[in-house]
Structure 1
Amino acid sequence: MEVIVDRCAGLDVHKKTVVAAVRSPGTGRRKRDTVVRTFSTFDADLVELRVWLTELGVTQVAMEATGVFWKPVWQVLDEGAFEEMLLVNPQHVKNVPGRKTDVNDATWIAQLLECGLLRGSFVPPVEFRQLREITRYRRQLTEERGREVQRLQKLLEDANVKLSAVVSDTTGVTARMILEALCDGERDPEVLAGMAQRKLKAKKDLLARAVPGRFGDFHAVMCRQILNHIDYLDRAVTDLDEQIDRLVSPFAEARDRIDTIPGIARRNAEIIVAEIGVDMSRFPTPGHLASWAGLCPGNNESAGKHRSTKTRHGSPWLTSALVEAAWSAVRTKDCYLKVRFWRIAKRRGEQRALIAIAHTILVICWHLLAEETTYTELGTDYLAGRDQPEHRRKQLVNQLERLGYQVELTAA
């Protein structure tokens, strides 16, 4: 194949070592030369790798996205003067079976790179990589808090404390006061019910019947540990919120634009900004962004037959944030997204409709960031105005006929 890049390097990255293969113009009958060296992944050795590649005149570097091991290598090489660095999907650089070694893998990557056959993945700038890490960790802690609350409810059911049947939040003010008293040894139902606050004062009789159940010393020890863990997670999430506010402040305008979309709250907007960035020049069209995120239908056709069109795997953090926003938008009154959801759900089911709304929200995000504008609500009648009258009439008639009616239309 035609060589496009004169001097390039392919890296096979592992936890302890990096195998680098450099391809360059050969001498004599050899059209291309290959030089291979192995480096340790300690920082000083990675700097030596960068210097060595620079001395050989390498202009482009490619490596596989291997877990988290590629990150320190990328950070060190990113400080060099290379024209382009590519982080490629391992599925895109699979070699032919047989004779698999680290040297062969690095050489194969370099050969694909010199022929221009590799496509780099999206690697955001360092400030967005940091924002990604902290928003993902905050979400993990939030989910862990939810699991702790479920463990607390399971423990209370084991003790036959029916607190969740009376209060809506077992970690709310009234429930927390009652649980603290139970852990301290209080067992008088009237005293426990007397701790009711605000609206729960009208449910003192139910509270007195719900507690103390069979709450014993064992349950007190377990309950105390769970409550302490919930408090720790609350403090940790609060601290992370402060750090995220500091990191996202340079991109606050973009976050606020995304926050105008129905269904998206401030914290979800921060996750979206962290995952896709604010520079949409990386994605020429909304379709490119949706494809990268794994929220567009697949395309699998062979011999005239269309096979599965399920979405492929994308960023789970971005997908979960968009799906959560889609559920919120579906429950929003007088919202275009809600009408679109139910129109699709009637034909394709609610799960497919939900992914379609998540895709629509991502497309809206692209337009808001690329055009530097805010969301404009289209209204509930927008889709009805775009319907073709004849098509709509046939559709409604077919629905009535399937229900067993004979339909005769008379113009009004």
Structure 2
Amino acid sequence: MKKIRKQSAGIDIGAKKLFVSIEGEPVKTFGTFTEDLESLGNYLLQHKIKTVAMEATGVYWVILYDILISHNLDVWLVDGRNTKQVPGRKTDVKDCQWIQQLHSYGLLNRCFIPDNLVQELRTYQRLREDHIRSSSMHINHMQKALILMNLRLKEVISQIHGASGMRVIRAILSGERDAEKLASLCDSRILNTKKELVIKSLKGHYIEAALFSLEQAVKGYDFYREQLLQCDIKLEEVLKKMHPQKPIKNTSKKRKVIRHHKPNVDRMDQYLLNIFQGRDATVLPGITDYSWMQLLSETGTDLKKWKTEKHFTSWLGLAPKQHNSGKRNRNYKVKGTPKAGLIFKQAAVSILNSKRIALGAFGRKIRAKKGGLVAIKAIARKLAELYWKLFVNGLEYVEKGIKKYEEIMLVNKQRSVTRMAKELGLKVVQV
């Protein structure tokens, strides 16, 4: 093979040491303090290095990447799965030499690194998701404490962490034990339909330990709800920085309802429309303003970094990988799925259950043959292709519904039958 990058280096990143390999030079070790990283950048410039490759190891690469970029070096962040060493010969010194060798021959693929504002948005959004998961843990603790006291409120109302449920729980913690008074704190819509059930569910057997557990769970839940509000403030600040310096467009179109974990961000839809120059991702099925903002934090604004929609779906982990050997053709299952791919899968779940969307009919057809997981992935892949085409090719998506999809499928079946009849020397007669 021919070397295409002669002035290249490879770096193996660790928690305490960095190993740097330059062709023709012995491997040099650096510490991980800031002054050590600056010395590493100067060392590369002294040897006239122009391009550097390093593995994406945890979060250790982030500050090193920024420092090397500030030294005007072409930095390649690569997936560690693409730089596997020969088994039994792995050391930190050999790793950095192997990375340098692969990079010099052009055998490595660069990871996607968004710009600074998108990275900041991603940090706040991922932190927000962590807080949502932590708050859900405390909701489970609240449910467990109520069950220990045989307060069956969660069997009567849909969410104990809703407005009615939390009013009842806070009243219990304040010392109220009368079931009718507790039930009166619920919303009128609940009382109009199942008041007696609510009263029965609130007649329990109070235990001191369970009350203490309930109080702790409520405090933990309130803490994470406050953290969510702080993240929402930061998200709004970043969105303000990202949208162009021009008047925000007024959108008369009714937006899709965000049913769960809606961010407290004023005019979020208008910020997103300005960032994407008027193109609206919510015209696609299953995509709301919140999931659109999540995709923005993971994929950025410039989808042209992926050459085609196939490159995009492959990066998302939604495309099958080839793993053929002899007569066996198998799909290679990659471990893990990028967060952006999971967002498309979450949207696909709602589409699969829809009764009016063509993609839902497409997914149910696959589910009948290969199961739900394959169907969700197939829908997510179709949705990701539409998302890429919308922002790269200017696709104007119009939902034509299940009826139109069924008509197309009927035409395809007729063509298939006609072709088979022709091959068998038969004639198709329409009844």
Whether TM exceeds 0.5 here: the answer is yes
Question: What is the identity, as a one-letter code, of the residue corresponding to 1:317?
Answer: K
Correspondence 1:212-361 to 2 at 5 A: 212-249=203-240, 250=242, 252-253=272-273, 257-307=280-330, 309=331, 311-361=333-383
CA offset at residue 289 of structure 1? Answer: 0.9
Q: Does the 8 Å contact 2:19/2:93 carry over to 1?
A: yes
Q: 1:282 to 1:163 in 2, by over 3 A?
A: same
Matched with 1:22 is 22
- The SS at the match of 1:20 is strand
Alignment RMSD: 2.2
Q: Percent identity?
A: 27
Pairing 1:123–2:113 present: yes
- The SS at the match of 1:78 is helix
Pairing 1:43–2:62 present: no
CA offset at residue 311 of structure 1? Answer: 4.2
Q: Does the 8 Å contact 1:257/1:374 carry over to 2?
A: no
What does the per-residue CA deviation read over 1:265-324, in whole Å, with 9 as the maximum and x for residues that have no partner?
2221111111111212211011101111111112111112212x2542354422332121
Matched with 1:399 is none
Q: Does the 8 Å contact 1:40/1:46 carry over to 2?
A: yes
- The SS at the match of 2:119 is helix
What does the per-residue CA deviation read over 1:211-235, in whole Å, with 9 as the maximum and x for residues that have no partner?
1311222222211111122122122
Matched with 2:45 is 54
- The SS at the match of 1:38 is strand
Gaps of 5+ in 1: 24-32, 395-408
CA distance in 1, matches of 2:406, 2:17: 60
- The SS at the match of 2:402 is coil
TM superposition score normalised by structure 1: 0.87
Question: What is the identity, as a one-letter code, of the residue corresponding to 1:68?
Answer: V
Q: 1:302 to 1:392 in 2, by over 3 A?
A: same
Question: What is the identity, as a one-letter code, of the residue corresponding to 1:390?
Answer: Q
- The SS at the match of 1:214 is coil
CA distance in 1, matches of 2:406, 2:118: 40
CA distance in 1, matches of 2:203, 2:417: 62
Q: Does the 8 Å contact 1:2/1:115 carry over to 2?
A: yes
TM superposition score normalised by structure 2: 0.84
- The SS at the match of 2:170 is helix
CA distance in 2, matches of 1:152, 1:268: 28
- The SS at the match of 1:380 is helix
CA distance in 1, matches of 2:168, 2:303: 52
Alignment length (residue pairs) = 387
Q: 1:372 to 1:274 in 2, by over 3 A?
A: farther
Correspondence 1:47-196 to 2 at 5 A: 47-82=38-73, 84-196=74-186
Q: Does the 8 Å contact 2:10/2:54 carry over to 1?
A: yes
- The SS at the match of 1:299 is strand
Q: Which residue among 392, 406, 410 is the counterpart of 1:370? A: 392
Pairing 1:389–2:380 present: no
Q: Does the 8 Å contact 2:141/2:213 carry over to 1?
A: no
CA distance in 2, matches of 1:101, 1:236: 42
Matched with 1:11 is 11
Q: 1:411 to 1:371 in 2, by over 3 A?
A: closer
Q: 1:336 to 1:188 in 2, by over 3 A?
A: same
- The SS at the match of 2:186 is coil
Question: What is the identity, as a one-letter code, of the residue corresponding to 1:358?
Answer: A
- The SS at the match of 2:114 is coil
CA distance in 2, matches of 1:374, 1:314: 32
